Amino acid sequence: MYKIKLEHFEGPLDLLLFFIKRDEINIYDIPISKITKEFLDYVNLIKFLDLETAGEFILMASTLMHIKARMLLPKEYDEKGEVIDPRADLVKALLEYKRYKEMSEELSFFESAQRKISFRGNFSQDVSNPPDDFETLLGNVSVYDLAKVFKRVIEGIKNKPVHQVKKISVSISEQIDFIFKKLEDIHQIHFISLIEGIKQKIIVVVTFIAILELVKSKRIKIQSSDNYNDFLIIKT
Amino acid sequence: MSNFYKSVIEALIFSSDEPLSDSEIIRTIKGIDGEDAEISNQNVSDIIAELNTEYSDSGRSIRIVNIAGGYLFATKEEYSKYLGFLSNEKSKRRLSQAALETLAIIAYKQPITKPEIESIRGVNSDYIIASLLDKKLITISGRAETIGRPLLYSTTKEFLIYFGLSNIKDLPKPREIEEIMQDEDFIEQKNRIMMNAIEELVEKEDQENGSENKN
């Protein structure tokens, strides 16, 4: 058997074309069972190497086997009464592929010729297109340099204080309800004990505004208490 | 007067990194000298031909090429070794067989969708298409009006420059299937590919030897 480097084949169609040309097969009369067998040998080989690529080859292998099975069945006829060759679609696909494969060779000659000439601004492209291989990209960077940078980045993250902004939702009417609820059982309450347990400044402020609002509408009275730092809220 | 415009055109092309089209040249001249300046497309291409003759007669290393629909100064092939040494050779890596194959399909069938490309190649082409887009050799040119409205791909101006073509129509015609069937040149084609590979190897060695000298 020939040794074949798989990376030289761009896909199942490419491999089939190779078999056909190598064995000087008439493409319109492909010995399907021989080709299928050879093809399967290679599929089995690459299955272990590269599953993703193998998938496409396995698909082709199953197409080949399907054709092989149809060849064994009684002949099929189209509307015109002509025999349908089960291989026809495959042959069409092979030839179509071959057309473009040939053109890719043409392009490759253009490429070769073109690589030999330089235009004005040639060197500015060196800067704008950084090399894509690791050797050149990494230059003299050693693994220790990378570790050093990594350490600095990690430490930088740790020291950064985190501020979180929480939205506190409170309204005057809510606080009015809150005050009346407090005053439900008892007739009067000290401001300090009213706001006891409230942790956010903004709620204390809104509560105070609610008190002013209630005083204005004469629904409560306020009175200075013995403690000068406090006052008394009295239900009217 | 014609001699004066010859120098003007030479200067315009010399100053440009991008292919400069006939119409841009004419527009520039008329913009300065007025609409009745005596210059036409034919004049421009004649003048370029004259300039190129002068360059080659006097043994210059440069010439003006017609590429991607415009004119551009280019070096002659003979000096590629030296230029390659000076520039970053790595950025001039060749395209892979798969990339060339995909480009050929796009070039001849554009605009074309990915499923159509894949059905011709018989293999998944995601990666290749992405890398060709990345290299700007192809571009997304719209969407097909079929189910799922898949993206359509076409070749770009960079494609023309990369392959040294003036126009997409300059590509050789793909052979008809009947023709393909009649020939026996498969071996010959493989040989041509081999020759390309050998050429590349020699180039590489040249370069390596060169780098040693440099160091």
What backbone torsions phi and psi does residue A184 show, to the nearest 5 degrees?
-60, -55
Number of residues assigned to chain A: 236
Nearest CA in chain A to B81: A116
Please tell me whether residues A109 and A181 are part of one structural domain: no
In this complex, the residue of A21, A100, A124 whose CB is nearest that of residue B104 is A100
Which pLDDT score, from 0 to 100, does residue A1 have? 38
Please tell me whether residues A109 and A176 are part of one structural domain: no
The string of pLDDT tens digits covering residues B21-53 is: 988 999 888 888 888 888 888 888 899 999 999
Which pLDDT score, from 0 to 100, does residue B214 have? 47
Looking at the domain assignment, is residue A130 inside a domain?
A: no
Which pLDDT score, from 0 to 100, does residue B197 have? 61
Please tell me whether residues A105 and A204 are part of one structural domain: no
Taking 50 as the pLDDT cut, the residues of chain A under it are 1-5
Which pLDDT score, from 0 to 100, does residue A82 have? 80
Q: In this complex, is the C-beta atom of A196 within 8 Å of any C-beta atom belonging to chain B?
A: no
The string of pLDDT tens digits covering residues B114-159 is: 999 998 988 888 889 998 998 889 999 888 888 888 999 999 998 9
Looking at the domain assignment, is residue A184 inside a domain?
A: yes
Looking at the domain assignment, is residue A38 inside a domain?
A: yes
What tokens does A156 get?
A: 């930088």
Looking at the domain assignment, is residue A182 inside a domain?
A: yes
Looking at the domain assignment, is residue A222 inside a domain?
A: yes
Q: Using H for helix, E for strand and C for coil, what is the string for A144-174?
A: HHHHHHHHHHHHHHHHCCCCCCCCCCCCHHH
Closest CA to B103 of B149, B139, B150, B67: B139
Contacts of B202 in chain A (CB under 8 A): none
- Spell out the residues 6+ positions from residue A6 whose beta carbon is closer than 8 angstroms to its own: A42, A45, A46, A49, A53
Domain boundary among A115, A146, A181: A115
Structural domain including A39 reads 6-115
Domain boundary among A66, A86, A115: A115
B91 contacts A125? CB cut-off 8 A: yes
Does A4 or B192 have the greater pLDDT score? B192
Which pLDDT score, from 0 to 100, does residue B55 have? 92
At residue B61, what is the residue type?
S
Q: Are A15 and A63 in contact (CB under 8 A)?
A: no
Looking at the domain assignment, is residue A165 inside a domain?
A: no
Contacts of A125 in chain B (CB under 8 A): 87, 91
Please tell me whether residues A102 and A199 are part of one structural domain: no
Looking at the domain assignment, is residue A125 inside a domain?
A: no
Looking at the domain assignment, is residue A72 inside a domain?
A: yes
β-strands A188-190, A231-235 pairing: antiparallel
Kindly provide the residue ranges of all beta strands, DSSP E only, lying in B47-104, ordered along the sequence: 62-67, 70-75
What tokens does B180 get?
A: 């393909």
At residue B90, what is the residue type?
K
Q: What is the CATH number of the domain that holds A195?
A: 1.10.10.580
Which pLDDT score, from 0 to 100, does residue A72 have? 84
Please tell me whether residues A24 and A109 are part of one structural domain: yes
Q: What is the C-alpha separation between B82 and B100, in angstroms, rounded?
A: 27
**Among the ranges given (A27-31, B24-28, B75-79, B173-177), the one the predictor scored with the smallest mean pLDDT:** B173-177
Please tell me whether residues A103 and A196 are part of one structural domain: no
Instruction: Give the minimum alpha-carbon distance from B191 to chain A in angstroms, rounded to a whole number.
Output: 11
> Distance from CA of residue B112 to its chain's centroid?
20
What's the alpha-carbon Rg for chain A, to the nearest Å? 42
Number of domains in chain A: 2
Which pLDDT score, from 0 to 100, does residue B153 have? 94
What tokens does A169 get?
A: 């939702």
Cα dihedral B65→B68→B70→B72 (10° resolution): -40
In this complex, the residue of B65, B74, B101 whose CB is nearest that of residue A10 is B101
Q: Are B151 and B140 in contact (CB under 8 A)?
A: yes
Q: What would the mean pLDDT of B78-85 be, rounded to a whole number?
A: 82
Nearest CA in chain A to B135: A129
Which pLDDT score, from 0 to 100, does residue A137 have? 62
Which pLDDT score, from 0 to 100, does residue A81 have? 77
Distances (CA, A) of B160 to A107, B80, B164, B166: 11, 20, 6, 7
Domain boundary among A85, A115, A145: A115
H or E element that contains A214? helix A201-216
**Interface test mutation site (partner A, options B63, B66, B83, B90, max chain A beta carbons within 10 A):** B90
Peptide bond just before A130 cis, omega within 30 deg: no
